[in-house]
Amino acid sequence: MASQGKPVLYGYFRSSCSWRVRIAFALKGIEYDQVPINLVKDGGQQLTDQYKTVNPMQQVPAVTIDGITLSQSLAIIQYIDETRPGPRLLPADVQQRAQVRMISDLIASGIQPLQNIYVIQKIGEEKVQWAQHFINKGFKALESILKQTSGTYCFGNEISMADVCLVPQVYNAERFKVDLDQYPTIKRINQTLMELEAFKGTHPSCQPDTPDDLRA
């Protein structure tokens, strides 16, 4: 059972959307409990009536926090940022904040949904080619944008919500054998971020529900 008072994350070890929330919690130094929702076991535990009461969309992640339940990773991250101390994940400047949201949405809405587990299962045998096509399409746009906005990280020299979205998406690209050498800016930023504990410690290879054969 989850500890009273802590946020509770309903997620899946390899879900990039769940990983985003884990990273945000880590960057903010927030302790939380996890309830694993296996997206493939028993036909998908997210499809049970029990989980539907947590998230009617039957997706992960969902987070119970401060007496409410939130779904959709960017909404969760922005709530955490607005209610918890620690490093800002969205800039104070309104134009900079809009640019960080643009990058985040490009990944979270324009790339990731086209190669999530539900879509891939529907595609069948062509799933790798499908995923590669849409990741490459999105990464071409993202590379162009990051060449203009990046410093050390996606937007300047401070970690932001854009970085929280980038790392899980690069992990997905690697899973589907996308050639990251085509995207030097994306590759550089990802390598820099993966040196940080908030990103390493939340990696899919070291979660409570990570299968033994996938553990680092």
The domain that holds 103 is classified in CATH as 1.20.1050.10
Same structural domain for residues 123 and 179? yes
Q: What is the mean pLDDT of residues 1-9?
A: 72
Q: What pLDDT score does 2 carry?
A: 43
Same structural domain for residues 101 and 131? yes
Helix or strand or coil: residue 164? helix
From residue 86, alpha-carbon distances to 82, 164, 183 in Å are: 10, 15, 31
Same structural domain for residues 54 and 109? no
Same structural domain for residues 98 and 64? no
| Domain annotation covers residue 170 | yes
C-alpha–C-alpha distance, residues 207 and 202, integer Å: 7
| Domain annotation covers residue 69 | yes
How confident is the model over 42-76, as pLDDT tens digits?
Answer: 889 999 999 999 999 999 999 999 999 999 999 99
Same structural domain for residues 113 and 132? yes
- Asked whether residue 3 carries a pLDDT value surpassing 50, the answer given is no
Please tell me the total count of domains within the chain: 2
Same structural domain for residues 186 and 103? yes
Same structural domain for residues 143 and 80? no
Q: What pLDDT score does 4 carry?
A: 55
| Domain annotation covers residue 174 | yes
Q: What is the mean pLDDT of residues 170-190?
A: 97
How confident is the model over 106-128, as pLDDT tens digits?
Answer: 999 999 999 888 888 888 888 99
Same structural domain for residues 72 and 111? no
Q: What pLDDT score does 50 carry?
A: 94
Same structural domain for residues 123 and 59? no
| Domain annotation covers residue 118 | yes
Owning domain of residue 181: 94-199
- Asked whether residue 10 carries a pLDDT value surpassing 90, the answer given is yes
Q: What are the DSSP calls for 57-125, one per residue? A: T--S-EEEETTEEEESHHHHHHHHHHHS-SS-SS-SSHHHHHHHHHHHHHHHHHTGGGGSHHHHHHHGG
Same structural domain for residues 59 and 107? no
Same structural domain for residues 121 and 172? yes
Same structural domain for residues 57 and 12? yes
- Asked whether residue 96 carries a pLDDT value surpassing 90, the answer given is yes
| Domain annotation covers residue 27 | yes
Q: Which of 64, 87, 110 is the last residue of a domain?
A: 87
Q: Any residues with CB less than 8 A from the CB of 126 and at least 6 apart, and which?
A: none
Alpha-carbon dihedral sign for residues 185, 187, 193, 198 = positive
Amino acid identity for residue 48 in this structure? T
The domain that holds 52 is classified in CATH as 3.40.30.10
